[in-house]
Chain A
Amino acid sequence: MQTISREVRLLVLVEVSLATLAVVIHADSISWYEWPQMLLFFLVVVVGFSVRISDPRGGAVTPSTVLSYLLIYLFNIPTALLIVMAGRTAAYIVSRGGTFWRAVGNGSLMALSVGAGGFVFRLLGGMPGQIEFSSVTLPAIIGGPLAHQVANNFFVSYAASRWRGTPFLSSWFDSFRDLLWPNLLSIPTAVFLAILSIDVHHIVVMGYLALLPFQWQALRLYLKRRQLYTQIVDGLVVAADVNFPLGKGHARRVADLAVAIARKMLLSESIVESVQFAALLHDVGMIGKDDLLDRPVLTMEDAENLLDHVRVGAAMARELPRKEIAEAILYHHERFDGTGYPGGLRGGEIPLPARIIALAEAVDSMAFGIFPYSPVSTRSAIVSAILSEKGKSFDPEVVDAFMRAVEGRNVTLDYDTARQAVMGRIS
């Protein structure tokens, strides 16, 4: 793990002091007489925040979102702050064995987010501890959690931008977008628990914790299946690559570049994933056509057979439930001006993933001199070759996103090491 820079230390210090200050100043309004409930929620937070399973929809499944919302609904701001800060700090030490410094920083961050959520909840007319579900209370019920998310994403993105050098604003925006739906879907659960907690008994929250293993069982199996699926796709990629000595690693590199471009175009995570799989599998139809490439001269029939790899690959990928993967494979040799194959589609008729993969493949083929390109070694030569085809072979928007990816730190276009490795393996 990296050493924490001075700036991040400062940030944590600010967070801790802010959170502590908020608790201390409003110590009077902390409802100490409710201490059994506070203790119960402290324990629930410790348990709930210690467990984490990475979520297929992005982020991680932890009951922490639901519990934070629950605290916003049930307790006044300083009380909620205190419970989260203490509980989260304890949970961090229990589950990750982190240093005290790091744990307190994390606890304060969570506490400030809950504070922001509670503030907006009150602002929109919500009364802590008196939740009711109606059209009047709806803005507060949704607004509080939303504010919590905005604040939480802000702190995390800001710390990450100082720590790892990721761009702050775009990562703030990205994390907000990726987590919005899962978080909105947590609201009904939190409201339900809040109502039962007020009207029946606070102990109901323990019942919620009992439901979690039931979910995790499925998630664990799901993640295993997913891993197996990736292994199978990897196997296919290797099988396709074996056919072309020059192409070793081609599919993997095309996929990396295509994903970087797709991210720059701010596409949703599920489309980015389709782009990735389609790019990995784009030449899978080449399997079985290996001897065609060895021939010194291709007949018309051979050439057609070779071009047919897009159809064969698409037919294979059609097995997958995500239809856009097969579409992207079928059309990845279309050109933006309508002179490509197999359909001669033009512009927006070509599916977006196919347009992205077409560019990514061209870049990699130039860098490695894969048919039909002759080797172009320098970065500027590749960039100018792509720019000259803007609007002809390639979608201008995809070219722009590519340029942004190259200018940013996402893509290096430094293929020398990879090229040497491949050449070394051939000779």
Chain B
Amino acid sequence: MALEQQWRVGRIVLVGAGGISLGFGLSGLAEFDLALAGFLLVLALAGEWLEVRLRPLGSFTLRPVVAFIGLWIAGPTLLMFAGLLPILIIGFLTKRASLPGLLSIAGRDSLCFWLAFVAYRGTLGFRNLPWEMTAGSAVAAQLAGLASFWIAQVPLQAVELYLREGIQFRAVLRHLVQHTWVHAVALVLAALALSYLETNFGLVVMGIAVIMLVETYYPWKLLGEQDGILLASIQMMAQAVDLKDPYTSKHSQRVSQFSVRLARAMGLGEDEVERIRIGALMHDIGKIGISGRIIRKPSKLTAEEHAIMREHPLVSADIIGPLEILGESAEMVRHHHENWDGTGYPNGLKGEEIPLGSRIIFVADALDALVTHRPYRMGVPLAEALAIIKKNAGTQFDPAVVEALGRIPESVLIAIVADPTSAAQL
């Protein structure tokens, strides 16, 4: 099944499960206090607006924290109300995702909230206790609720990324746990502190504290956004090089998309995938200084022109080497024309001596060169391109990378060839 279809089915399941959980949660609608609900909604909106994006995967918001305060003060109805509505409102206002996308996020969180509620009530012993609790047993119940929310949410996010991006489930789960546990602990502490403030100082002080939390986290939101802008500007830079030759328009973006899929198919960690993504985008950046006349030349290059062209991996690596973040990809860019049997350039490295990223980018680069038109020949069909690459495994290409290429569904490759930009947002 293609990724897109898989993800569509996954979304429907999530929204359905979320709807059922919401039903359970709203079963006590009678206890709804409009003023309290409105107040918590405003805070939850502020918390959801503060979406901190983590590089390269995952994000978190302060919204669940506010929602849990709602649970502790007034029960599951407010948990669902303050926990779910802001997703749709803020998502709609900031155009964060399409409506089905927002609904699936809401569905996922609805399910998690319901599980958290069950854990919370379960720890309280399902006795008919008042909602306002200050004793130690209440804190234990609160902790149980918060913990089960996180324990439910992380694997669901991992499944989502597995369905959407085709990343191996265990790899993405490990990545998410490693990168979010600090924030999860911080948010749990914040939730307990807010609960303490609410019982001892009242709602208003608790609300001010939420706003202060938003302020405190604001630089992290800025950082996450700037990461996005940075990647966008890197893509622009890559496109500027591709523009020098109308035949290679969006070449770098396609190579980058191929490389990312290859790296994930080989089970690499997401941090390495990110380095490979940037390396692939920047692999031809050294061509920026080469005259357009040589790059666009339809006939065979002279020896001198050929020598200039062969310099470009070195120039690319030298350009990005000193830059922060990009510099981490410099080595793989330097060697992206090395052959597996040691006959490539610039250093004639052989086999495992070549950085893995270079071997991946090399295959992706060749695949794109084969399937797209060039001034001197037409592109070949995808199946034929794959066959040519397979034939050169062990001489030009790393057999392991070629084998990974065989595991990527052809529909994914075709989607990337057709439109690398939207394939990136699949």
Contact = CB atoms under 8 A, between A and B. Distances in A.
Contacts of B326: 228
Given A228-B326, A288-B292, A319 B223 contact: no
A404 B306 CA distance: 54
Contact of A235 (B232, B237, B244): B237
Given A222-B223, A317-B236, A319-B236, 17 more contacts: A56-B222, A188-B215, A191-B208, A192-B209, A214-B216, A215-B216, A218-B223, A219-B219, A219-B222, A222-B226, A224-B324, A225-B226, A232-B234, A239-B288, A288-B244, A291-B293, A320-B236
Interface string B299-324: 00000000000000000000100011
A57 B236 CA distance: 25
Interface of B: 201, 204-205, 208-209, 211-212, 215-216, 219-220, 222-223, 225-230, 232-237, 239-240, 243-246, 288-289, 292-293, 319, 323-326
B interface, by DSSP: helix, strand, loop or mixed? helix
A309 to B, nearest CB: 10
16 contacts: A133-B205, A188-B212, A189-B215, A192-B205, A192-B208, A228-B230, A232-B237, A233-B233, A236-B237, A288-B244, A291-B293, A316-B240, A319-B233, A320-B232, A320-B233, A321-B228
Nearest to B326: A228
10 closest A-B pairs by beta carbon, nearest first, are: A218-B219, A188-B211, A319-B232, A288-B243, A225-B226, A222-B223, A218-B220, A232-B233, A189-B212, A192-B208
A185 interface: yes
Contact of B201 (A195, A214, A221, A287): A195
A231 B292 contact: no
Nearest to B204: A133
A187 to B, nearest CB: 9
Contact of A284 (B212, B222, B228, B240): B240
Interface string A260-290: 0000000000000000000000001101101
A188 B208 CA distance: 6
Which bucket holds chain A's interface residue count? 35 or more
Contacts of A216: 219
A312 B239 CA distance: 10
Contacts of B229: 225, 229, 320-321
Contacts of B227: 225
B387 to A, nearest CB: 33
Contacts of A195: 201, 205, 208
Contacts of A28: none
A201 interface: no
Nearest to B186: A214
A219 B226 CA distance: 11
Contacts of B293: 291
Contact of A288 (B204, B216, B235, B246): B246
B223 A287 contact: no
A229 B324 CA distance: 10
A312 B244 CA distance: 12
Contacts of B246: 288
Nearest to A286: B243
Contacts of A239: 240, 288
Contacts of B237: 232, 235-236
A240 B216 CA distance: 40
A9 interface: no
A156 B350 CA distance: 64
Contact of A185 (B215, B245, B324, B325): B215
B59 to A, nearest CB: 14
A25 interface: no
B112 to A, nearest CB: 26
A26 interface: no
Contacts of B289: 242
A225 B230 contact: yes
Contact of A291 (B216, B219, B292): B292
Given A236-B236, A239-B240, A320-B229, A192 B216 contact: no
Contacts of B219: 215-216, 218-219, 222
Nearest to A231: B323
A134 B292 CA distance: 68
Contacts of B288: 235, 239
A208 B223 CA distance: 21
B316 to A, nearest CB: 12
A236 B241 CA distance: 10
B94 to A, nearest CB: 11
A235 B229 CA distance: 16
A235 B241 CA distance: 11
A264 B116 CA distance: 55
A4 interface: no
A52 interface: no
B324 A321 contact: no
B220 A192 contact: no
A162 B209 CA distance: 41
A226 B215 contact: no
Interface in A292-335: 312, 316-317, 319-321
B355 to A, nearest CB: 22
Contacts of A56: 222
A407 interface: no
B341 to A, nearest CB: 35
B292 A229 contact: no
A218 B204 CA distance: 28
A211 interface: yes
A34 interface: no
Contacts of B205: 133, 192, 195
B424 to A, nearest CB: 11
A37 B324 CA distance: 45
Contacts of A211: 216
